[in-house]
Structure 1
């Protein structure tokens, strides 16, 4: 089935390029304006497409890891990296994108955020994070403290933190009228971080295999994304009440 893997990969790469470029269009345009919405639509569609192809590649890598990646030799290790973890990351990207879009769509109806489909997406993502964690711990025990299973454990914890945060907001009784704005920002920028992290990891595997799983390299998009989130969240801090004159 390598031919099918290569089809998934080609679509994944094309959608990934569209996501990487449209992300900045959404970041720099006026929030809520027509241009921002257009860029956001392109970014979201590209992420959904890239993530769906990641699910396909991950499923094939779970069944035939060495046939899909003939340059590798350890089937057990890379079934985890390119199978379990790739499926999980595809689900995580979809769940973050859906959450960010739903926050805007339901900005005037918070109860609608508790629709079964939203809860199911987050629940499935949390289960996938758990499977990635268990698989990573198994590989740590099998292979020792090498970077690949360490990375699986690290990214699985990210999924737990993300879904727990989303559930907390979804079930919050009465968030403020503008609370959806930072939720939208955080989810969409986090999706952009995931896209750039995937881009770096795939590129490094091809060009610099020894550094493909270097956490310092993987941290670069996270640091840039956190800077963007902090910058925009400062603009949406609740206004402090004026003190009464004495």
Structure 2
């Protein structure tokens, strides 16, 4: 079991650094272009490995590793939440492209699993954070609660604008970038820099930086596609 954990951690590190290295390329390349698509798939596969291994490592640390201190337990729960957040946002970013021509509410049950999991886990982790007075768990899951709720709303309702699919694709993939960079700031950077503690503000810098990008890109592409009502509603 320990050997599997070491392998998962190695795969997690490799996938995480690959995601950090390439995540910005789809942002600056032409949307829908060959390079954008190819690099985007590399990022998705990297984040899939990060999400799966983070889920395994979080469960492993909570169930099989003895003698946890409170901070280790709290960070293990955060690792689980980051796994859910990164997986849910990447899946959403892909699936909205798959169903970009839909005219009515979405009927694929599989696409409701991640938003529901993201919403419920965000609520549960936040409550747990308030119980143990751990700021990172108190506040960061709000991002997941908001994204889970908006994803559910998107699938449950009929598209109102032509730009719905590209707007939601951007939201999904850039939200995944938030998970990527936040995980590095929380887990990777302190180890590389030899820092024992980091302020809550530092943990939220990725969110603070990327949210304006989400707003800017979605506004631009909504206007580019004229925001006209989708036909067949």
TM-score, normalised on structure 1?
A: 0.83
Tell me the CA shift for residue 108 of structure 1.
0.6
Task: Quote the Cα distance in structure 1 between the aligned partners of 2:162 and 2:34.
Answer: 22
Match of 2:75 among 62, 81, 86: 81
2:145 aligned residue: 160
Decide whether aligned partners of structure 1 residues 39 and 113 sit closer, same or farther in structure 2, where only a CA change above 3 A counts: farther
Shift of 1:78: 2.1
Q: CA RMSD in A?
A: 2.1
Alignment size in residue pairs: 225
For residue 108 of structure 2, what is the aligned residue in structure 1? Answer: 115
Partner residue of 2:96? 103
How far did 1:205 drift? 3.2
Q: Distance in 2 between matches of 1:76 and 1:211?
A: 14
Give the structure 1 partner of residue 231 of structure 2: none
- Cα deviation digits, residues 151-189 of structure 1 (max 9, x gap): 101122111111001111111223222211111101101
Shift of 1:139: 1.0
Greater Cα offset, 230-239 or 123-132? 230-239
- Which residue does 1:144 correspond to in 2? none
- Kindly state the Cα deviation for residue 127 of structure 1 after the two structures are TM-superposed: 2.4
Question: Over alpha carbons, which structure has the higher Rg?
Answer: 1
Instruction: Specify the alignment match of 2:120 in structure 1.
Output: 127
Offset at residue 65 of structure 1 (A): 4.7
**What SS does structure 1 have at the residue aligned with 2:24?**
helix
1:65–1:78 contact (8 Å) kept in structure 2: no
Gaps of 5+ in 2: 229-233
User: Which structure 1 segments of 5+ residues have no match?
Assistant: 68-73, 141-148, 242-246
Structure 2 vs 1, CA of residues 153 and 65 (structure 1 numbering), >3 Å: closer, same or farther?
Answer: farther
Quote the Cα distance in structure 2 between the aligned partners of 1:215 and 1:193.
15
